[in-house]
Chain A
């Protein structure tokens, strides 16, 4: 594999702050033109990793190349290839949106009319034209992020680092940011983004690295990660709630595992290792004259993957992991402000809202 089809290639990156190993041997390989998600809780080492890749921080050990250029030996070349949008908007608070963009245009070698044109284009593209001359201190969080991203795009860098691009944004603004990121990828950008939101990584990223305590604990596509956790789970909804006991017995006879029953919902849930066994279950149920209202076969959610891989719910900056609400998986996690953000740790999602759910009407 040649180095040019790899936007990012990192081996054994280490960064120590005092006695704390913030990043402890991270390997990453990002294909050009893809979206790569680095998923992990606060303090997992995501930001430190990005800062090392973006030449903002010197690694204590290991090496990294951006499109084949070493971040340590050719930092100036690397900086011509990347755009960085930080966790907290890195724009100048005392300047207006226009002044910010024009400053960064000049620093990117655009002057005079070219700088003005590019700034105006970006303001329009990111829906900031109306607020262009207002002081930044009156900007909402979403507007700041958009301006920040616009500033990163002036030089049209082939690689973009987005450090938690949607942390602290409300669901609507988050959805807009997702759309923007997808549009960028369509123009040929490679994106490396970090996130604490499992849903975000699942939605946007082609490949995901799960990082915890400075180490990559798993890497693969969203589907691969889910598959690595093993069993899919079968949900059966009965027509008649009185059948629950009989149905449970039948399912246990076929699969050898007793299902979890929720009589109110007339629903049974049972893990299955082999999806083809579902046919056996259905046949046995028909033989027992138990009618089904519906069934679904779900892959495990990334939340379950995360729990399985790190052995614990994300332990920092997460509130209410135990009473995680009933948010449909297709929606973004509720996040009006930083303190409200949370990572969904439900063990089950609504089958009807999951795109990768196989649903059969009985």
Chain B
């Protein structure tokens, strides 16, 4: 690509007929475009740090609230509830955070700059993938604060630093995958508030009807059926095992497989809807 400066005294524009042109995007360009868009997302976060209120405050409030609210009832006392509830809250909080991805995407898409993105020869998925990649920062913050809160309250995970770090990473990866669902809602919805509405209707059953806060065998059998197939349950179990004892089990595989399926289904849906939306 030419990097000559515009010189008004002589013609510098290469005529359209003399240009070498491609009609498809290479995988390398897709990655570069997505990273450029992610960079934009990070600059936006730096400009409007108040966007990070939810990922800093929510983990603190949820961790304290749920631990003291259910600790005595579910596990007898707060200390013995921590190993159960901290992985649960970690998963729930980070996934809840991913709803904002869809809401912000909706607000963003209403701006004129998205017209320019569409008129550029870039990978079609880049504006979406970039926004979602930038949100990984939010998941990392939420993960760190939840784990820190747990440690402050007396949680002593047996998996050690490596186990906890791997557990956190797994949660971030899964939350990013799930955010494609909300990105899809963000693209098809008319307004940001409706994105929030639909997303929470999906989110609440998914996170609460799981083993995140209570033991599955306390539930009625019909509910156990759902809870046991809920991918969030598998993620919570995987996190408990990783953080609690540092063991990698098939639950990790199930969680990652579920995430891959979600991306495979919702990423193309979201991109197609995004392209249709004029």
Contact = CB atoms under 8 A, between A and B. Distances in A.
Interface in A92-123: 92-95, 99, 103-104, 106-111, 114, 117-118, 121-122
Interface in B1-56: 1-8, 10-17, 19, 21-25, 29, 32-33, 36-37, 39-40, 43-44, 47-48
Interface in A277-298: none
Nearest to A2: B17
B11 A91 contact: no
A92 B40 contact: yes
A56 B2 contact: no
A301 to B, nearest CB: 31
Contact of B13 (A67, A84, A125, A156): A156
Contact of A84 (B32, B37, B43, B115): B115
Interface string A156-168: 1111000000000
Contact of A94 (B12, B23, B47, B278): B47
A56 B118 contact: yes
Contacts of A108: 1, 120-121
B250 interface: no
B218 interface: no
A159 B16 contact: yes
B44 A95 contact: yes
Contact of B15 (A80, A122, A151, A158): A158
Contacts of B114: 90
Contacts of A186: 8, 11
Nearest to B116: A90
Contacts of A79: 119-121
B19 A125 contact: no
A80 B120 CA distance: 7
Q: Is the interface of A mostly helix, strand, loop or mixed?
A: loop
Contact of B3 (A94, A114, A189): A114
B76 interface: no
Contacts of B47: 94-95, 135
A222 interface: no
Given A67-B16, A76-B23, A77-B22, A86 B40 contact: no
A93 B11 CA distance: 32
B119 to A, nearest CB: 4
B220 interface: no
Contacts of B40: 92, 95, 99, 103
Interface string A194-238: 000000000000000000000000000000000000000000000
A91 B21 contact: no
A251 B113 CA distance: 60
Contact of A91 (B24, B37, B116, B120): B116
Interface in A51-83: 51, 54-58, 66-69, 74, 76-77, 79-83
Contacts of B3: 110, 114, 117-118
A90 B112 contact: yes
Contacts of A188: 11-13, 15
Given A51-B278, A92-B113, A135-B47, A187 B118 contact: no
B119 A55 contact: yes
Given A79-B121, A93-B111, A121-B6, A104 B15 contact: no
B115 A56 contact: yes
Contacts of A255: none
A261 interface: no
A89 B19 contact: no
A95 B46 CA distance: 10
Contact of A187 (B6, B22, B23, B32): B6
B122 interface: yes
A211 to B, nearest CB: 20
B36 A107 contact: yes
Given A57-B278, A77-B21, A158 B13 contact: yes
B14 A156 contact: yes
A4 interface: yes
Given A114-B3, A153-B6, A187-B11, A54 B16 contact: no
Nearest to A125: B6
A67 B22 contact: no
A109 B25 CA distance: 12
A32 B115 CA distance: 25
Contact of A103 (B29, B36, B48): B36
A21 interface: no
Interface string A122-164: 1001000000000100000000000000010101111100000
A91 B278 contact: no
Contacts of A117: 3
B12 A156 contact: yes
A88 B112 contact: yes
Contacts of B12: 156, 187-188
B10 to A, nearest CB: 8
Interface of A: 4, 7, 32, 51, 54-58, 66-69, 74, 76-77, 79-84, 86, 88-95, 99, 103-104, 106-111, 114, 117-118, 121-122, 125, 135, 151, 153, 155-159, 183, 186-189
Given A95-B47, A99-B43, 6 more contacts: A80-B21, A83-B119, A106-B39, A122-B6, A187-B8, A187-B11
What 9 A-B pairs come out closest when comparing CB atoms? A67-B16, A188-B13, A106-B36, A188-B11, A90-B112, A79-B121, A158-B16, A4-B17, A90-B116
28 contacts: A51-B278, A68-B17, A74-B23, A76-B22, A79-B121, A89-B112, A91-B112, A91-B113, A92-B111, A93-B111, A95-B40, A103-B40, A106-B36, A106-B39, A107-B36, A107-B122, A110-B1, A111-B32, A114-B3, A118-B5, A121-B5, A125-B6, A151-B116, A156-B2, A156-B12, A156-B14, A158-B14, A159-B16
